[in-house]
Chain A
Amino acid sequence: MLKSIIRKEILNNLLSYKFSIIIILSTILILVSIFVMYRDYCLALENYGVLQPKSNEAIAIIPPTPLSIFAKGLDENLCRSYEIGFGGQIRVGSKQESVNNLFRLFTTPDLLYVVKVILALCAMLFAFDMVSGEKEVGTLRQTLSNSMKRPILVIGKWIGGFTSFVVPFFIAVLLSTILVTMSPLVQMDGENWAKLGMFLFSSVLYLAVFFSLGLLISCLTHHSSSSLIISLFLWAMLVFFIPNLGNILARQLVQIPTVQQLEVKRSQIWIKEVFERINREKNYREVVGSINSENDKLIADYRNRFDRLVSVSQNITRFSPAAAFTCLATDLMGTGISEERRLKKAVLLYKDLVWNKQQDDLPTFNFHRSSIKEVFGFGGLANLMILILFNMLFFVSAYVAFLKYDVR
């Protein structure tokens, strides 16, 4: 019986206008997004080639990851160059995007964005009328008049509906991934493939959350028009409102100085020391020592506050699956907040190495993006669990609501 429900649901979807329009939209978007981001990755790679440090330069820089094609996250920030200069000061290179301010006005259209925003909406659109829509046309009453058990019906509907939604998504992603990875510029190793696999798995989990939520709303309403309205507004709240306002709220709870303030303090440190040096109050060694230690204090204070800000903001935004998914996906792809914190730590260690070097030879900067194991250790597992929990919560609620649903 379950099989025929699933079959009916899939066939019903395949023949609907909704299916064609959503599939056209998502396929175009996925292909365009991956192609655009692939070109962007090529530009970043070209830029990295130009910026490779010479043997006499104390510069820390890492290459862009091919996974940024799928989730760019903070890769533009991560791939800046960090030059160790006078008094151990770290001079940060500008981002390539910094000269075109339009990048700052709009969002990056990578696969992460397509899944997080657009496909989540599509998942809800697939599910919003699964129960209320059938009730309106009267088929639900007929189906249940047979010896059909409600649990089987709701599970069959979920499996059938979600399969017909997620399979075309997979085909589009696979197709574009194969096209992109055929390029000699995209060098994916085994670890990268595993990360991409995990990313796709978490995307499916995330989309399932929205699908189950759509089903839940459908089970709680009696008209598909009301179900649609509630679905759309919940989508807007979960995808935009909670994650984005949550971050500004976190900034109110953790006092963190602005970049402008830090820049003022940083320039004052070296100017003061140089001034005192010239006016013969300090010798050269003392001066550079002070610049280094003062900057270290400034950085240590900031990093502590920033770590607290990240944890507060993650705790606030955990009410939204979109925030958990963003963190998980970007961390997996090596372009997330945890990677940024790791890189900054590595740069600081490198600065200390350069600072304390005994010989003339400059140490080289080594940095490897986190492995899957490390990502799960840094809180990736918690985010994954949140997605699973949301799935269970919404599905169980939908199940219970359907058991009590008045089909008349």
Chain B
Amino acid sequence: MLSAIISREFFSNILNLRFIVGVILCVIITIACVMVLTHDYQQEMADYNLRINLQDEFLSKYAHTNRMGGMITPQKPPEQFRPLIIGIPREANLGSFDDNPLPVLFPPLDFLFIVTIIMSLLAMLFSYDAITRERQRGTLRLLISNSIPRAKILLAKFIGGTASLLIPFILSLLAGALYISINPAIQWDSSAWAEFSLLIAASVTFISLFYLLGLMVSTFSRYSSTSILTCLFLWVLLILVIPNISPYISAQLYRIPSVNKIERQVNHLLDTERDELGREFSREVLKKFAARYGVIYSEFESLEFGGLWGECSPENRKATQQRAAADPQFKAMVDAFREQINQAWSEANRIQREKAEQLRKDLTTKATAQTKIAKNLACISPYANYIYLATDLTGTGLRNLDYSKQIASEYYNMFYSYLEKKTQQAMKKDPTFETNSFLDVSDRPRFVFKEEPLRDKLDAVLPYWGILVLFNMVFFAAAFAGFMRYDVR
């Protein structure tokens, strides 16, 4: 009997106008989206390759120890899921004068739009009248008069309805997957396909949740016309209102100091204040050297310290080198001077960096707390849970930002230890070598972006998935309770 009701529900749905509209829309939107986003992905890839080439070429001509940070910024390729999901627009926060603000006004459209807007609406349109329509027609009364338990009827309606609902979704996914697999520009490995399968499973959980919500509302309504309005009311609240309001509420609940002000303080600490401190330490070095070396120091001073401190003409630089080559005592002084001055600046850098780091750390702690509040607030809505789940699973979301930051900082650490070795080698080879001299870094370690392991991603997204399943259970239980007491007359 259960299978009979399932098949009846299934066929009555697929012969309906909403099914045809759903199929056409889903397939057209998916294909349009995947095609446009794939092209966008290819452009991003070309831009990424160009950036890598620009950096390589620049380093081959201008690499020097000072300012190296600005020359080796890790370049991240576009995410492999970019042809399907855009996630967080990466350009938004770079703080550049030339940015494209269009995505702020018109958020980009991707696969998540199909699931969260089109499919959730379709799910509710399939289920809002599942009970009320039958009551209004009188068929529910006939059905109940047989010896079938109400629970079975509800379960059959859920299974049959969801199965018919998933046809447009699966069809559009197949079209999308086919396009991705035959496109030579996109090379997905097995782990990407595994993520894709998990994404489908998560989407099905999300879609069935809205089907159950519609079913629940239907069991509490007498007429289809009221049921659809209640459904749309809930849909608007859950999808369009709660998630969007939550970051603003959290910003009110948990204040953070002005980001811009802290940035300026950090810049001041690392720039003007660092220079002042460095000069102060250097002057102490000068005093010490003046006392220790006397006459040859005065001679060194008259040669503008050979460029090791302050401005120096090329003639004086050359003269210092010649003087050092001729006189071992002078050379020993110059070497010691270079070392002490470097130490003075390193010390100034260290002190100022620590201060700046403290400021940044305070801000990050507060910002993390605010983001956490917003994230948890938004979890009231299944939409937010699904967005976290889908974007984190495919490496296009909040988690990916943290992950990218972490691997970039690992790269910096690796690069700076390489740079230190390289600088020492260069100093040994050439005693006049200093931080502004050209340094060959062609054998440097390169930044390679490696996707986060699927296991780690899965561990992180399971709680959100759990919440979605819980929503499913709650709505089913509520629909069950409503249907048990439903007056079928």
Give chain A's interface residues, CB within 8 Å of chain B: 17-18, 21-22, 25, 29, 32-33, 36-37, 39-40, 43, 46-47, 50-51, 73-74, 76-77, 80-82, 90-109, 113, 117-118, 121, 125, 129, 224-226, 228-230, 232-233, 236-237, 240-241, 243-252, 255-268, 271-272, 274-275, 278-280, 298-299, 302-303, 306, 309-310, 313, 317, 323, 326-327, 330, 336-337, 340, 344, 347
Contacts and interface: CB of A to CB of B under 8 A. Distances in A.
A17 B229 contact: yes
B236 interface: yes
Nearest to A107: B244
B346 interface: no
B47 A258 contact: yes
Interface string B5-22: 000000000000110010
A108 B240 CA distance: 10
A51 B73 contact: no
A281 B32 CA distance: 54
B436 interface: yes
Interface string B225-268: 11011101100110011011111111110011011110110010
Interface in B82-130: 87-109, 113, 117-118, 121, 125, 129
A297 B92 CA distance: 23
13 contacts: A73-B104, A74-B105, A93-B259, A94-B260, A96-B260, A97-B251, A98-B259, A101-B88, A101-B401, A237-B25, A259-B96, A261-B50, A275-B67
Given A100-B370, A252-B40, A326-B106, A108 B113 contact: no
A255 B250 CA distance: 38
B460 interface: no
A96 B51 CA distance: 28
Contact of A261 (B47, B108, B129): B47
Given A241-B29, A244-B106, A102 B101 contact: no
A252 B243 contact: no
Contact of B58 (A47, A272, A302, A326): A272
Interface in B367-392: 367, 370-371, 374-375, 378, 384, 387, 391
Contacts, number: 280
Contact of B40 (A121, A248, A280): A248
B375 A272 contact: no
B109 A240 contact: yes
Contact of B378 (A94, A102, A229): A102
B97 A82 contact: yes
B51 A264 contact: yes
6 tightest A-B contacts by CB?
Answer: A99-B367, A244-B109, A93-B260, A109-B244, A267-B70, A259-B91
A99 B398 CA distance: 12
B91 A258 contact: yes
Given A299-B97, A302-B98, A267 B71 contact: yes
Contacts of B29: 241
B228 A228 contact: yes
B96 to A, nearest CB: 5
B33 interface: yes
Given A259-B91, A260-B51, A102 B96 contact: no
A70 to B, nearest CB: 15
B49 to A, nearest CB: 11
B80 interface: no
A201 B364 CA distance: 43
B43 A252 contact: yes
Contacts of B94: 259-260, 263
Given A104-B88, A236-B121, 4 more contacts: A22-B229, A94-B95, A125-B232, A306-B100
